[in-house]
Structure 1
Amino acid sequence: MATDSSLLNSELELQQQEELYQQLLLQTMGQVQSENPDSKVIRPQPGMCVKTLSQPDKQKIFINICQSNSVPPPPELSKEELVELLESEDPTGYRVPMSLGEPHTEIDNSSQGCTAYDVVINQEFFNKCQKDPLFQQFLILVSLEGLENKYSLELSRDWKVLKNRKFFGSLNEQNIRTRSRPVIQELQPQKCPTAAAKRPEFSLLVEPPAGDPEYLIAEIQLPGVPSSRSLVLDVGEDRLVLTARPSLFHLDIFHPFLIDQEKSVAQYNTNTQILTVTMPVVSS
C-alpha cells in the first residue's frame, strides 16, 4: 500500500505522516479489556423499552435503551440541527456514544422465545430525549442503526415504545470506555458532524479471501481531502469511525470481527485520495 510521493516532501512531513499511519487508532467505544484504566464494568439503569421485528423472519426484538453517567455525552445538538439530520440522506451520521450489549434470549408474554438487546447511552442525553418526541425518535433510530451494523441485522422501522415498562427481560453488566484517549492532539474533533457531512464510499475486504481471516482492510474514498491532517480516525474492537474536517465526510460502521486495535495501521494516499485501514483480525 504505497503512499503518494508528495507525502515525502520533507523529513518533518515524513515523520508526521509515519506517526499518523502507526498511531491513528481509536479511542474505542466498544467493549474493552477490564484491566484498561479507561474502562469499567457498569450495570446500566433502566430507561425505555422499544419493541420491533427482525426482517424478513418477523421475530420479536426488544431493545432496552438504558442510561448511565459513565457513558460520555454526545456533542451538543440543537433542535434545528436535529431537523436537518432527520431530513438528510444519512440521519445517523451524528455520532451518539453508546454501548451495545450482546443479544440475550428472553420469554415474552405468550411464552415464546424472543431476543433482547441492551443499548446504553448517557443519562443526561437520555433525559433530553425523553422530553422531546423528535429527539426520542432520533435516539431510537440511531439505536436500531447501531444494532444493525454491529450484528448484521435488519430491523423494522415500525417500532413501538412500551408504556409503563422501562426494560424487558434482564439488564446485563457492560464493560464500557469511560475516557477517550486522543493519540494525536491536533486532530481532536471540535464539533459533531452535521447534515453537511457526507457518508463516503467504502469497501471492506477480508484477507485471505478464503479460510480464517487474518486482516480486515477498509478502503475509504475521500475526494477533496488534501491530507491526512484533516482526518480523525477511531478504530475500535468492532467499530470504525472516521471524520474528515471541516464537515466533509463522516463514517460510522460496525463489522462482524474482533480486531487488534494496537496493531491496526492507517495510510492515506493523497494521489488516489483513499484511506486504507489495515486491521489484524483476532476472531470473527
Structure 2
Amino acid sequence: MESSFTQKDMLAQVNQLWSMLDDMAENSPESYQKFIQRHMKEGKEFMTPPEPNLCIHTKILEPDEKILFINICQWNRVPAPMSEAHPVPISAGQLENLSDGTVVAIAYNPEVLKRAHQDHVELDQLIRLAMKYIEEQYQITLCHSYHVAPFQLKGNAKMMKESLERIQKQPATNKGNSSCATDNSLLEELKSIALIREKQETSPSICITREDAPKSTKTKLIEEISSTDLQNRDLLPSPWHELSVTKDNAGHPQSLILKVKLRGVHSVAECDLSVSKDDLLLVVPGRYRLLLNLPQAVNEETVAAKFNKANYILLVTMPTL
C-alpha cells in the first residue's frame, strides 16, 4: 500500500522540529550549541563542490567512434555505500562534446575513492562500474580497454560542477513500500532527544526517499543517485565561430582570437562566458552553446571580450601563457 504524506503532515513535522530545537536550547544550551555547530559543519562539507580525482582515457565504439574522457570525481553529496552488500552510489553528468573528443563526469563518495586508491583491483572495478553505467545510461558501446590520463581533469572545474549538479529535484518514490528510509542526522537525532526527555510516542518522521534502498535480495553493482536532464542543452546549436592564433616576430603564440556570430543576441548580458587555461564555454540560454578545447594554454585572468551589436559578433581575446 502506498503511503500518502500530505502538506498538513509535513507542516506538523516542521512544527515538531522547531519545538524540539526550542526545548533543547532551553534545557541544555551547551548541547544545543554543539549540536548546531556539528550540523553546520556537516552542511558546509555537503555543499563543497566536486573535486577531480583522476581522468580515464578510452573510446566510444558505437554509434560513432570517438575519444572519451571520463572525469572521475569525489563529491560529498554522493553517499558512501551502507555496507559491502549494498550497491555503490554513483552520480553522473552528461556527455559533453569537445574539439578532440567527448567528456563525462562521474562522481563517487570521497571515502570510496580513498579506499580504491589503496587497492588497484578495487580502483579498476570502480572505473569499470563507471564505464558500464555510461554505456547503460547513454546507450553507447565503449572500448573495454582504458588508461589513466596524465592529468586529473579534462575540461574545467566549472563545467564539471554544472554537469554534476543538474540532478532531479524530486527523486522517484519507491512504490509498494510505505516505510521510507529516513535521514539519520538532524531529525532522527532530535527525535531521540525528545523521546529520552518526554518518554512519549512521537508522530512519524518526515519521509525522505532514498534511491539506494535495496529493492530486492540481489545485490546491485551500480546505483544511480542522480540523473541528468539531457534534452534542453543537447538541442542548443553551436554558433558560427572562428578561432585564430596571433604570433610575435619570433613565431611564438601571443594570443588566441575567437569570433562568434550570435544572431538574435542583443546584449552581452545574455551571454555566459567561462574561460579556463585550456578550454572555453559559451552559453546563451535557450539559443546557443559552444564548448572549445583551446590549442594553447591561456591566461584566464587577462581574457577580454567585446560584443558588436551591429553585426552580432562576440570577439574574445585570450593572451597565451
Q: TM-score, normalised by structure 1?
A: 0.45
| Bigger share in strand | 1
TM-score normalised by structure 2 residue count:
0.40
Greater share of helix residues, 1 or 2? 2
Higher relative contact order (CA 8 A, sep 6+): 1
Structure number with greater Rg is 2
